[in-house]
Structure 1
Amino acid sequence: MTHAEKPVDDLTPEEAAEELAALSAEIARHDKLYHGKDAPEISDADYDALRQRNAAIEAHFPELVREDSPSLKVGAEPAGAFTPVRHSRPMLSLDNVFSDADVTDFVQSVRRFLSLKPNDELVFTAEPKIDGLSMSLRYVDGELVTAATRGDGTTGENVTANIRTISEIPNRIKDAPDVLEVRGEVYMAREDFMALNERMAESGRVFANPRNAAAGSLRQIDSNVTKTRPLRFFAYAWGETSEPLGETQFEAVARLGKWGFPVNPLMERCRSLDEMVAHYRAIEAGRADLPYDIDGVVYKVDDLALQERLGFRSRSPRWATAHKFPAEKAMTELDAIDIQVGRTGALTPVARLKPVTVGGVVVTNATLHNEDYIKGIGIRSDGHDIRVGDTVIVQRAGDVIPQILDILPEKRPKAAQPYVFPDICPACGSHAVREEGEAVRRCTGGLVCPAQAVERIRHFVSRNALDIEGLGEKQIEFFYNHSDANFSIRTPADIFTLEERQKSSLAKLENVDGFGAVSVKKLYAAIDARREVEHSRFLFALGIRHIGETNAKRLARHFLSFEALRIAASEAKMPQGKGDPGSAGWQEIVGVNGIGAVVAEALVEFFAEAQNIRAVDDLLGQMKPRDEEAPQAVSSPVAGKTVVFTGSLEKMSRDEAKAMAERLGAKVAGSVSKKTDLVVAGPGAGSKLKQASELGIEVIDEDQWFERVGR
């Protein structure tokens, strides 16, 4: 996985896009292991740092945000062993911060969004972040009717029978609202966990930590097994309610406590940033003495009216964050350096380590990021390179495999030699080049390199692309490497001709080990089911650089049909220098909200390549991208209109203004074009205001905006 330690500000767009793609895939894998199988391979600190790096890159390159970005998703899909339950209100995750400076940034971002003055009071609650399993308990007329895990945030697993075995969770509550969803964390105390493992050791199976023990106990098919497990519960939030629980977070949680739900006694109100950090330090200092595991402190805006104004991002609330505890380190020896070739041809060095335990997990591999990192250029303060045989410091806080944080030069063997980074691709033998200004060396054999070809097909059929069930990694490698042309899949279009080619083959796929008649029939059916897919899925599946799921959906919503997008991209002319705005088609593409010049250039260049056009034509001969539906009208004066905000806004922040416009059914664009319907201009408006005047587009100020939308 390419996960450069290079500062985000120094990344090129290509490096950023590659790293985001790798981060997205790895975080999704860990989500499935953690939330779906209760079998994490990395610690919370590792996982948090993956997300932190992803968020930092997305903040610096907003045009590169992928549709499969971890910032847009919560948890993992529910397992099939339990009946699915759709949450009435999504169960979102929390963004994480890792330093006092990050907490300052969080508080300032909240104040900016709310347009608060320096002297305006802003109160937060602070409470321990329990390391357990998120749970939603639904009560109707005071009776517990459903208990569901978080799942993917939208749909969870029905574990009601198992939840009823936890004595701390009431089956009935008095004087409750008609509908009440109580949300919190199921956990297992450390002493109970140790006792459970002692009992289970006789069977040869023990749990890795209390969190896994709690999750595994709660997911027992037989609730009688769950009943024997010492599970506990803390309530800290709520979902759907038929009446308000209070005016503040603190009051609402206290009300949950009065109904008999356990609430954490360490929750406090903090009236300043200093109080928030001080409470974090106090909880951190007493962490070892708590009877349960925690991995940080959660801060929430106390005023529920302000929470409502702040609203949510894709996967997390703007009004809350988790201040996580630091990662862990260890020392070991570097045995070897291997080179892996990624989907885009990037050569990534991976360290092979003498096994070492870091935070309870045995580590044998670590990322070395890129050849500059190995040379020690601009990475470590002492400037030493990394050599095989070195004693290294490993930190489990940022990669699918941990990272080498530093070396101990005094322990270096005298015979250790500088590592020479290869200029030949180990997968195909093609020349590997490093372009000026880039940290990554890439294989030039894109059309012949098996490492890239298999990954391109794997991406094409992946869940968030065409989602063809039955074409997993092993099957793709089988078809790609097969010598018989009637079995071979070398390009995405070959997938759709497989069944027809098999009809004329003497060697039948159903006779191959690992397939069989039933699985082959299902595979063909799955392929046929994808002969017509959403425009956005098709666009994402093409694997165009910088066009992830988010950007694919943005473009699809704007152009509605793939053909319209293709024509616009094919005819667009990029700017040829300072002062050249580019063609109208170019302006239309960069005018799509969230699409910048980097993404537009990648799209235009893709459709300028003859081999790409042939590949797309081959695909269109076998399948059809379905046109997007025009957005349904929302009853408001600005519904369906394209709005641009420019200049300073005095009554609300720019983010809040955009959020309001989108709630009212408007499209918010980042630049002015002929398709713009309305420009809202505040003080300091510049070129956008001038362009709007030249195009004869209606311009109003902030007060007129509020009058227009009736606020």
Structure 2
Amino acid sequence: MTFERLIEIKKLLNEYNYQYYVLDNPSVSDQEYDRLMQELQAIENQHPEWLTADSPSQRVGGQVLDSFTKITHERMMLSLGNIFNEDELMAFDERVRETYPNVEYVCELKIDGLAVSLVYADGRLDYAATRGDGTVGEDITHNVKTIKSIPLTIDYDGDFEVRGEIFMPKKSFNELNEERAKAGEALFANPRNAAAGSVRQLDSTIAAKRKLDAFLYMVPTATEVGCTTHKEALDYIKELGFKTNPMTHVSSDIQDVWAFIQEMTEKRDTLPYEIDGIVIKVNNLEEQVRLGYTAKVPKWAIAYKFPAEEVVTKLKDIIFTIGRTGQITPNAILEPVRVAGSTVQRATLHNEDNVKNKDIRIGDYVVVRKAGDVIPEVVRSLKERRDGSEEKFKMIEYCPHCGSRLVRKDNEAAYYCLNDQCDFKKIERIIHFASRDAMNIEGLGEKIIEQFYNLGFVKNIEDIYDLYKHEQEIMDIEGFGKKSMDNLVAAIEKSKENSMEKLLFGLGIKGIGAKMADNLSKEFKSIDAMLEASTAKLLSIKDVGETIVQSINHFRNDPASLELLMNLKALGLNMNYLKETTLLQESIFNGQTVCITGTLELMTRKEMKDYLARLGANVTGSVSKNTDFLICGRDAGSKLEKANQLGVTVLTEEEFRKEVNL
């Protein structure tokens, strides 16, 4: 058992893994593969000092984590905008061709799974992370190592990131649910949920048994490895040993793109994995950069979502739920039915007007679909199937939870419970405050909050931060041991350090979503400064209108809201915006929009971006009429031309260096 033999076996097993899981072309029998794996494990057991993290033997799992750690992405993982029909596809094409008349597209299957970022350091898998909120994800390296189609090593020096989708093949999904049914366990609703649940297991042995797979589809730094098109980048990562989807289509004809979409729509059910649409990307990478991004999505790519599957089932009852703002929503209780890959028993009816306009009645046979393949909704009733026993819809007059009379606000279709002491409104507010996009208190989900509320541990938001006082009582709850309690207390304490925008969103001020909370936080830097701002100042901020101002005015004039804020301050919650660091120095770049082009000598591009950000600049990837400065390195190209056309101030690296006294 020599070290040379160990290296030989590892090389063979990696080659066999690649042939089986990536090329789908096995070259040895299962028996031969298992024999080599046993020999490798025997050598590593005898010589533990030879065991490495990238050994094929490590793919069986076994690592158990206490909790998931957070990872900040080097570059944001943005989602795509959606389209749903041919007209919207043509409109996307027209927008692109206004800038690039001869554009070429790459069409890829939109795999229904979980987005992942894989980062390699000098050829070895360093870490794998989920998308999370696009900026911060969770470290799932221990589970990703069990996915045999993902290489643990690649032939590459330096840092390398590749992104893709982890999914569960239909065969694996069916086998998993059969096993769970035999064991009397709850079944997974669909392969996407099963995949997501698998990579979020703390025990990697569980993930290893789930037979996950992955397709890789993006290299954020493709131009740095010599690629000029997205298709070249796909071919490049395929050469490195990554699994890419073979059903990729390149075309410069938008009608041909639509034909490909129709073809894949028909073939969707025959594929061995779930897809929920087709992604269309501009092929040329330089054109992608020039087209740029909106606040949320790239302008050079779009996701065509398949038409929502529609099914017929019986509407058994209509119940009413309440949200954190007190809005009352009618919901249909349905005979269980499978739609778009999962079993649906409840669907939203939106509001009174929607139900009456569609004449939906209890006892009707109704058509149900998933809006955007996510939220179940009732499309229409089948009036021709009525037998006379159906009951007409009647909107309730009183809150189903506290009994207060409901009020329909002017210019709105919704009814509201205005009782601030309504238990269910309080529960929804607490749930919202602890949610991922708000304070992100892991371990404090909806069911736990409802349970804690009913037990009297959490009656308002402030009580979250006193939960440690109920430690023994909580540990007496079934399934809630010492470790769970310690993790929860740690998550609660950590949330006190969140930046202002998380808290502002968590406060649940009407109309202030996550993006608006971020905008307001960047502008005012503290909660107090925002609450002291004049109406004119608020209205001067991008996207802030009269409705937002009214909501802020209501909050700052409401004694209960101000008391909540005062209590949270006393509990030690941060009230300030933490994302921006103190300016390095006063400079002409503070508050200005700056673009960088060409090959830099002074520092790397990332270092330049970070440096400019610390000078207070807004660094963008493209030149426009809103650009104030363009900093040029060697071989500056079209960005320099455009800057000169638009009259943008152009600085060489040397001029930049002198300006900031470097």
Question: Does TM, normalized by the shorter one, top 0.5?
Answer: yes
Match of 1:443 in 2: 417
**Contact 1:85 1:156 (8 Å CA) reproduced:** yes
Match of 1:565 in 2: 530
Match of 1:56 in 2: none
1:590 lines up with 2:564 in the alignment: no
**Contact 1:562 1:625 (8 Å CA) reproduced:** no
1:253, CA displacement in angstroms? 1.8
- Structure 2 residue corresponding to 1:104, chosen from 79, 83, 90: 90
Match of 1:393 in 2: 367
- Structure 2 residue corresponding to 1:127, chosen from 96, 104, 108: 108
Match of 1:544 in 2: 509
* Distance in 2 separating the partners of 1:511 and 1:401: 37
1:407, CA displacement in angstroms? 0.9
C-alpha distance 165-394 of structure 1, shift in aligned 2 (>3 A):
closer
Q: Secondary structure at the match of 2:288?
A: helix
Match of 1:249 in 2: 230
**Contact 2:333 2:347 (8 Å CA) reproduced:** yes
Query: Deviations along 1:574-607, whole A, 9 cap, x unmatched?
Result: xxxxxxxxxxx22211112332232122212332
Query: Deviations along 1:650-698, whole A, 9 cap, x unmatched?
Result: xxxxxxxxxxx99994479xxxxxxxxxx9699xxxxxxxxxxxxxxxx
Match of 2:128 in 1: 148
Query: One-letter code of the match for 1:639?
Result: F
- Structure 1 residue corresponding to 2:556, chosen from 599, 602, 607: 607
Match of 1:334 in 2: 315
User: Structure 2 matches for 1:643-658, cutoff 5 A?
Assistant: none
Match of 1:15 in 2: none
1:266 lines up with 2:264 in the alignment: no
* Distance in 1 separating the partners of 2:316 and 2:108: 43
C-alpha distance 401-347 of structure 1, shift in aligned 2 (>3 A):
same
* Distance in 1 separating the partners of 2:495 and 2:147: 44
1:187, CA displacement in angstroms? 4.7
* Distance in 1 separating the partners of 2:441 and 2:202: 30
**Contact 1:509 1:516 (8 Å CA) reproduced:** no
- Structure 2 residue corresponding to 1:346, chosen from 327, 330, 340: 327
Match of 1:639 in 2: 589
Match of 1:3 in 2: none
Match of 1:707 in 2: 649
1:402, CA displacement in angstroms? 1.6
**Contact 1:159 1:219 (8 Å CA) reproduced:** no
- Structure 2 residue corresponding to 1:181, chosen from 150, 155, 161: 161
> Of the two structures, which has the highest relative contact order with CA contacts closer than 8 Å and spacing of 6 or more?
1
Query: One-letter code of the match for 1:386?
Result: I
Query: Deviations along 1:549-582, whole A, 9 cap, x unmatched?
Result: 33233223222233332222xxxxxxxxxxxxxx
1:339, CA displacement in angstroms? 1.5
* Distance in 2 separating the partners of 1:316 and 1:196: 35
* Distance in 1 separating the partners of 2:158 and 2:119: 10
C-alpha distance 250-420 of structure 1, shift in aligned 2 (>3 A):
same
Match of 2:7 in 1: none
Q: Secondary structure at the match of 2:648?
A: helix
Per mean C-alpha deviation after superposition, the further-off stretch among 460-469 and 525-534 is: 525-534
* Distance in 2 separating the partners of 1:509 and 1:173: 48
Query: One-letter code of the match for 1:326?
Result: P
Match of 2:139 in 1: 157
Per mean C-alpha deviation after superposition, the further-off stretch among 240-249 and 192-201 is: 192-201
**Contact 2:189 2:343 (8 Å CA) reproduced:** no
1:101, CA displacement in angstroms? 2.0
- Structure 2 residue corresponding to 1:456, chosen from 421, 429, 448: 429
* Distance in 1 separating the partners of 2:487 and 2:192: 37
1:263, CA displacement in angstroms? 3.4
* Distance in 1 separating the partners of 2:490 and 2:244: 51
* Distance in 2 separating the partners of 1:187 and 1:106: 28
C-alpha distance 332-306 of structure 1, shift in aligned 2 (>3 A):
same
- Structure 1 residue corresponding to 2:397, chosen from 404, 419, 423: 423
Query: Deviations along 1:201-229, whole A, 9 cap, x unmatched?
Result: 76667766555666677778887887777
**Contact 1:134 1:183 (8 Å CA) reproduced:** yes
C-alpha distance 704-182 of structure 1, shift in aligned 2 (>3 A):
closer
Identity %: 36
Q: Secondary structure at the match of 2:107?
A: strand
* Distance in 1 separating the partners of 2:198 and 2:530: 50
> TM-score, normalised on structure 1?
0.64
1:302, CA displacement in angstroms? 0.6
1:95 lines up with 2:81 in the alignment: yes
1:628 lines up with 2:628 in the alignment: no
> TM-score, normalised on structure 2?
0.68
1:369, CA displacement in angstroms? 0.9
1:412 lines up with 2:412 in the alignment: no
**Contact 2:340 2:373 (8 Å CA) reproduced:** no
Q: CA RMSD in A?
A: 4.6
User: Structure 2 matches for 1:274-293, cutoff 5 A?
Assistant: 274-293=255-274
* Distance in 2 separating the partners of 1:198 and 1:492: 42
C-alpha distance 709-525 of structure 1, shift in aligned 2 (>3 A):
same
1:300 lines up with 2:265 in the alignment: no
C-alpha distance 197-420 of structure 1, shift in aligned 2 (>3 A):
closer
* Distance in 2 separating the partners of 1:403 and 1:596: 31
Query: Deviations along 1:447-502, whole A, 9 cap, x unmatched?
Result: 232222333344345454455677665665567567xxxx6765545666888xx8
* Distance in 2 separating the partners of 1:521 and 1:203: 31
Q: Secondary structure at the match of 2:649?
A: helix
Q: Secondary structure at the match of 1:335?
A: strand
**Contact 2:583 2:615 (8 Å CA) reproduced:** no
- In structure 1, the gaps of 5 or more residues are 1-77, 503-507, 569-584, 644-660, 669-678, 683-700
1:287, CA displacement in angstroms? 3.1
Q: Secondary structure at the match of 2:238?
A: helix
Query: Deviations along 1:400-427, whole A, 9 cap, x unmatched?
Result: 7521111111222324342221122222
C-alpha distance 240-601 of structure 1, shift in aligned 2 (>3 A):
same
Q: Secondary structure at the match of 1:389?
A: coil
Q: Secondary structure at the match of 1:286?
A: helix
Query: One-letter code of the match for 2:429?
Result: R
Query: Deviations along 1:263-317, whole A, 9 cap, x unmatched?
Result: 3333222213212112212222333444443322211111111122334456643
Query: One-letter code of the match for 1:321?
Result: I
Query: One-letter code of the match for 2:105?
Result: F
- Structure 2 residue corresponding to 1:237, chosen from 193, 218, 236: 218
Match of 2:356 in 1: 375
C-alpha distance 590-334 of structure 1, shift in aligned 2 (>3 A):
same
1:233, CA displacement in angstroms? 4.7
Q: Secondary structure at the match of 2:219?
A: strand
C-alpha distance 122-292 of structure 1, shift in aligned 2 (>3 A):
same
* Distance in 2 separating the partners of 1:257 and 1:594: 43
Query: One-letter code of the match for 2:424?
Result: A
